[in-house]
Amino acid sequence: MHAFDAFLLKYGYSVLFLNVLLEQIGLPLPTMPILLAMGALAGLGSFSFPAEVAIAVIAALASDLVWYKLGQKGGHSVLGLICRVSLEPDSCISKTKNLYRKLGPFALLVAKFVPGFSATAAPLAGLTRMPLPRFAAFDTLGAGIWSGSYLLVGLLFRNQLEDVGDLITHTGGRFILVILALVGSYIGWKYYQRWKFIRELRFARVSPEELLEMIQSGEEYAIVDLRHAREVEAEGAKLPGAIQMELSEIEARHDEIPRDKDIILYCS
């Protein structure tokens, strides 16, 4: 721990910038410990707290602008790529869109505190054609709230953090092994749940190729397109003959769904 502190004292600002930048790009780096440690060092007078916040915001905004542009150009495929590597890929996109739809641009103020949403908020803003100045303003404020919160916690509780550091030093690798075991167990449980869920629903799934064959053969069925209207508009395509409604509208509009046909639900 003392060697790490010495390293931060020498390269603190650079470490903070690169850590936030790469983590926001998508690399699995532990940003929170760095923010807490830098906040503690600011409390000890080694660094400037406002400068730390500014550096973290610039790094986060630089990364998010890249994802914003990718969202504009790649649209739904970019979200799918990000969600494919998440712990809950089957519900990642729908959860992201529901949260974004409820909060609008204000979602960017809390996005970095929500696991999964942090990586998808910026490309989703680009997908929905949020004006760049508005995105930059809300994203900057959100990055400031996020980084400032952790830096402030580190500043206020610097003595307690030093005690934790001493505990880790004295317990050696045992403490790290316990943390790794807990994290590994959580990830394993999430993937088991997903495997079980997919196994139970596999029989009811229809592939895009099978759906195309059904459309061409004229089979009796009803398609309910559950995508958000903005997503349909952004992709510029609607399934032939599909009933367009959002998932949250099913209960209110269930009478529109025919009961005398097979029903195919289409969602992203």
pLDDT by position in tens, the chain (length 268): 455 567 777 888 998 999 999 888 877 777 888 888 888 888 888 889 999 999 999 999 999 999 899 888 876 667 666 666 554 555 556 666 676 777 778 888 988 887 667 778 888 888 888 899 999 999 999 999 999 999 998 888 877 656 555 544 555 555 456 556 665 675 576 566 556 645 654 545 677 777 777 777 776 777 888 777 766 666 666 677 788 887 777 777 777 777 767 777 777 6
Tokens matching residue 68:
């914003």
pLDDT of residue 58: 96
pLDDT of residue 201: 47
Contact 151, 38 (CB under 8 A): yes
pLDDT of residue 76: 67
Query: How far is Cα 96 from Cα 100, in angstroms, rounded to an integer?
Result: 6
Query: How far is Cα 59 from Cα 38, in angstroms, rounded to an integer?
Result: 15
pLDDT of residue 96: 65
Question: Where do we find the tokens 């600002």?
Answer: 13
Question: Where do we find the tokens 């054609």?
Answer: 129
- Give the number of C-alpha atoms closer than 13 A to the C-alpha of residue 77, restricted to the C-beta side: 5
Specify the amino acid at residue 4. F
Tokens matching residue 237:
């395509």
pLDDT of residue 47: 87
Query: How far is Cα 148 from Cα 201, in angstroms, rounded to an integer?
Result: 43
* Contacting residues for 185 by C-beta, under 8 A, at least 6 apart: none
Tokens matching residue 265:
């639900």
